[in-house]
Amino acid sequence: MKSKIAPSLMCANLLHLDRDIQALEEIGADYLHFDIMDGSFVPNFTLGPDLVKAVRRRTNIPLDIHFMVNSPERHLDLFDIQKGDLISVHVESTVHLNRLLNRIRALGASPAVALNPATPLFAIEEVLGDVDAVLVMTVNPGFAGQKLVESTLGKIKRLREMLDSKGYWETRIEVDGNVSFENAAKMRAAGADIFVAGSSSIFAKGMSIHEAAMKLRESIR
């Protein structure tokens, strides 16, 4: 599958967001990734529904909204989810996962299930038929700038095998966390095809978004 890039807006320059979005349009970003946090499922807060809506008015790049909140079903309506969006909810965050994924599908968006580094793959086995993508957290969620949890590389590989063996060849694997130029190549080799690009790549210090995008594309070709 052709690889896609999803720059993580929590790592953008929040005081020059318009300028960064312009650059992300120029490099042909496939999605804009929003981390939505609640201070409970993860120990941090970041972006919220008003910013998501404002960015949606500003650009045609599809949105990739990653809910790192407890009971995301309580908050979905705040986000004005649209056709073409990719919406991830964590298997650890809700009791009625199947219902929630179907609700996201009914809104016209692509549902994805996310899992933390410590969550085993069998936890998502029953919903593989309900999703367009699986988001593999490659760091513990909540903060940018963390180091890769190495065991997740093998997990990506096993997930690709599991999806293929069940006939889900079109289901994508998204990776999120320390997707550096170096790690991205390893993740690609393991079977990932959507890359959340944060402080480790697209927004790396000392490099423009254009330069970083070229370098990232090289490593995930």
Binding-site ranges for ligand DX5 (CB under 6 A): 8, 10-11, 35, 139, 141-146, 176-179, 196, 198-200
| Active-site pick, 20, 30, 35, 130 | 35
Both tokens of residue 54? 């404002």
Is residue 186 a contact partner of residue 153, using CB atoms and an 8 Å limit?
A: yes
Residue 97 or 139: the one with the smaller Cβ distance to ligand DX5 is 139
Q: Where are the beta strands (DSSP E) in 102-219?
A: 110-115, 133-137, 172-176, 194-197
Q: Which does 132 bind (CB under 5 to 8 A by kind): ligand DX5, Zn ion, none?
A: none
Q: How far is the CB of 197 from ligand DX5 (least distance, A)?
A: 7
Establish whether 18 is a catalytic residue: no
- Identify which of 156, 207, 199 has the alpha carbon closest to the alpha carbon of residue 180: 199
Q: Which does 198 bind (CB under 5 to 8 A by kind): Zn ion, ligand DX5, none?
A: ligand DX5
Contacting range for Zn ion; rule: CB under 5 A; set: 28-36, 78-86, 104-112, 212-220 = 28-36
Establish whether 176 is a catalytic residue: yes
Residue 109 or 167: the one with the smaller Cβ distance to Zn ion is 109
Both tokens of residue 17? 């967001």
| 90 is an interface residue for Zn ion by CB under 5 A | no
Is residue 178 a contact partner of residue 146, using CB atoms and an 8 Å limit?
A: yes
Q: Following DSSP, what letter does each residue of 156-170 receive, concatenated?
A: HHHHHHHHHHTT-TT
Q: Which residues contact 122 (CB under 8 A, 6 or more apart)?
A: none
Question: What are the residues binding Zn ion (CB under 5 A)?
Answer: 35, 66, 176
